[in-house]
Chain A
Amino acid sequence: MNPSEQIRAKAKELLDNKTVDCVIGYERSTDGKNSRPLFVYSSKDADRLIFDQTCAQNLVRYLLNRKDKVTGIVVKPCDSRAINLLLNEHQIQRDKVYVIGVACSGVAKTDWNKTSDKLRDACQICQQHKPVVYDFLVGEAKAEPAAEAYPDIKSMEGKSPGERRAFWEEQFSRCIRCYACRQVCPGCYCGECFVECLDPLWVGIRIAPGENEMWNTMRAFHLAGRCIGCNACELVCPVNIPLSLLNRKLEKDVQTLFKFQSGIDADAPPPFAAFQKDEKLGVAE
């Protein structure tokens, strides 16, 4: 059975046995080429489920709206790290989630009404081809982890501060503060986001270069040590701001400084809730 068939069979079984209230997976979108999230509440709809190279979206976000119900969810290895993150931060309970993990060798660069065989940038440097948490495994991980995990970050670090300043100024000037990046991210679930705070007015509603920079910088920093690198934010940005260049820079530094990677172990203490008395971190020495 191919992945789609395995997922459909499992979903039918889970729904018929009432193990779950709903299975969240993917179905074909209206352009006939790509995929979109699907919520299956009854096994008669399970045949709409698919899994293929176009399933780039991270579905874990939806678990945060369904905390009181048991939900089945289809996750790729990168997405599965988000489940561990939410377990670690006590946002979901393990017995309320049934994880259908798909071993994946990469998804394609998706775009409306276009098909592509080219792997997404994030997939080309992927280190995780098997889900880190699952109740049912679909497929076999064949690909080897990529050799170089942060080539784009290293190239950016090699530029001068002036060049980097100019690059980010240009990128942030396009931001329209739609907050799609925040809405799609499984790690962004604050009841009141710092941009909604009126007193003190950190960012506010004005769409201007200074405010845009503050928004993007601080969102990335609030995800430091938490971002699992699914790149859903970059995928959803309507003006194509390269957000992964921000988030993964922090992921790289967290790994170097604190030897920590988020989402691998649901019980590991988060890096900013811990410290070591004698650590040398390159500040104030």
Chain B
Amino acid sequence: MNKFISKKDLLSWLGKLRETRRLVAPTRVDDLTLLTEVSRLEDIVFDYQNTDLPPKQFLFPATETIFSIEKKDGRVELVPAKVEKETVIFGVRPCDAKGILTLGMPFLEEPGDPLYREHCEKTILVGISCLTACPECFCTSMGSAPDDPSGMDIMLTGVKDGYLVQVLTDKGKALMPDSLLSSVDTPKPPAPQVSTVPSKGITEKMRQAFDDPYWGRLADRCLHCNVCSYVCPTCYCFDVRDYGGKNKTERVRSWESCQSPGFSKIAGGYDPRANKGTRMRQRFAHKLLYFPEHFGTMHCIGCGRCVRACPVNIDIREIIQDVQKLGVKEK
């Protein structure tokens, strides 16, 4: 027996949520499908494979004031940023939910980023499992699956006239009590076939390929446009600057990318990664070697967005295949 909610009931549930919380869901913006704050329920779309930008911007915004220093009554006060409302992100795919778990690892590692933690505590993820797979995705090679509920508070699986419901956490249960659901004996549809890449043992192969001239050749065509980092659900490089005003200074954190020339420039003007090849190697080493070594999981979740977005077709799937074939270097 599985729990079920009809599409009609689902929409009215979302409408009710919107009264007290920020509701974010997939909507159509020009030819893109983007997660946006929803003002009208009719704007929510259901016919998409995945959104063009990942949900990370709702926990780790592209630009965020992390605190401000204000002069009040002659005293100087530090005012931390606050997360005002709870946010429900609806329509998240399993790969992106895993992406959010992965994104949280560096931010929540002790002592932890208090603002990020506040965002996490005030965000509820309502995901929809995949019934079809994008041609570019390879989630199963990166530790996820089209029906993997990790990271979600509630997972929905599309069936005729509605969705099968799995309530996974207390947060999810508080939002969607049993009373809203009915029991059905509709079985769960089978998960679709997803393309694979040879990711087994890639961490060790990356370590061995560190000095290979492959990276320089690959980087030849890279434009350092930063798009891969910006569309990636798990990339988290950022820059911090202070913006001063009359009586208020704000410390602002904004997205950056390790691919940007000058990203690793240090005081004095020295840049350890001035060479294009070293920057390219850094990206894939972080994804496939450094992050798994430190946190125990791949930094890539196989959503395929970078593959679709890269203007010069730097394809992580191709790179994984190439690196597996590179000769073993004697250290």
Contact = CB atoms under 8 A, between A and B. Distances in A.
Establish whether A and B are touching in the complex (CB under 8 Å). Answer: yes
B254 interface: yes
A16 interface: no
Given A62-B220, A112-B308, A196-B262, A207 B255 contact: yes
A208 B260 CA distance: 20
Interface in A233-261: 235-236, 238-240
A193 B313 CA distance: 26
Most buried by A among B31, B226, B231, B313: B313
A204 B231 contact: no
A176 interface: yes
Interface stretch (A33-41, A89-97, A98-106, A134-142): A33-41
Contacts of A180: 223, 225-227, 311
Given A30-B315, A178-B227, A205 B252 contact: yes
A201 B252 CA distance: 13
A30 B313 CA distance: 7
Interface range on chain B (Cβ under 8 Å from partner): 35 or more
A184 B225 contact: yes
Contacts of A198: 241
B268 interface: no
Contacts of B135: 31, 113
- Chain A at the B interface: mostly helix, strand, loop or mixed? loop
B239 A205 contact: yes
Interface range on chain A (Cβ under 8 Å from partner): 35 or more
Most buried by A among B225, B254, B260: B225
A30 B317 contact: yes
Contacts of A62: 220-221
A30 B312 CA distance: 10
A232 to B, nearest CB: 8
Given A37-B312, A57-B311, A57-B312, A179 B62 contact: no
Nearest to A28: B313
Nearest to A235: B311
A204 B262 contact: no
Pairs of residues from A and B, 10 with the lowest C-beta to C-beta distance, nearest first: A180-B225, A36-B313, A205-B254, A207-B63, A29-B313, A37-B221, A183-B225, A236-B311, A178-B226, A183-B223
Given A180-B227, A207-B254, 11 more contacts: A36-B221, A37-B220, A39-B217, A62-B220, A65-B276, A176-B62, A180-B225, A184-B225, A206-B243, A206-B254, A238-B309
Interface of B: 29-32, 52, 62-63, 135-136, 217, 220-221, 223-227, 230-231, 239, 241, 243, 252, 254-257, 260, 262, 276, 307-309, 311-313, 315, 317-318
